[in-house]
Amino acid sequence: MRVSVDRDRCEGYGLCAEEASHLMHLDDDGELVLDRAEVPPESSDAVEAAVRVCPVAALKVS
């Protein structure tokens, strides 16, 4: 499983990072940084929660 962010949609709310803080964080400018694009199997629930919580549907898994 891979996670990606649509930078045109992302508004930097950071809700996703609260759900999957070991995979993504906001930098000092409020830009989302994906720490690991490749999601380990044990983190699939967390990343799916991050996708669901994003209010602008900017995260995608494939």
Judge whether 55 and 13 are in contact, CB under 8 Å: yes
Binding residues for ligand SF4, how many (CB under 6 A)? 13
Strand partners, 3: 61
Taking CB under 6 A as the rule, does residue 36 contact ligand SF4? no
Taking CB under 6 A as the rule, does residue 16 contact ligand SF4? yes
The whole-angstrom separation of Cα 23 and Cα 47 is 8
Residue placing its CB nearer to ligand SF4 in the complex, 10 or 39: 10
Judge whether 53 and 15 are in contact, CB under 8 Å: yes
Binding residue for ligand SF4, selected from 2, 12, 21, 38, defined by CB under 6 A: 12
Taking CB under 6 A as the rule, does residue 13 contact ligand SF4? yes
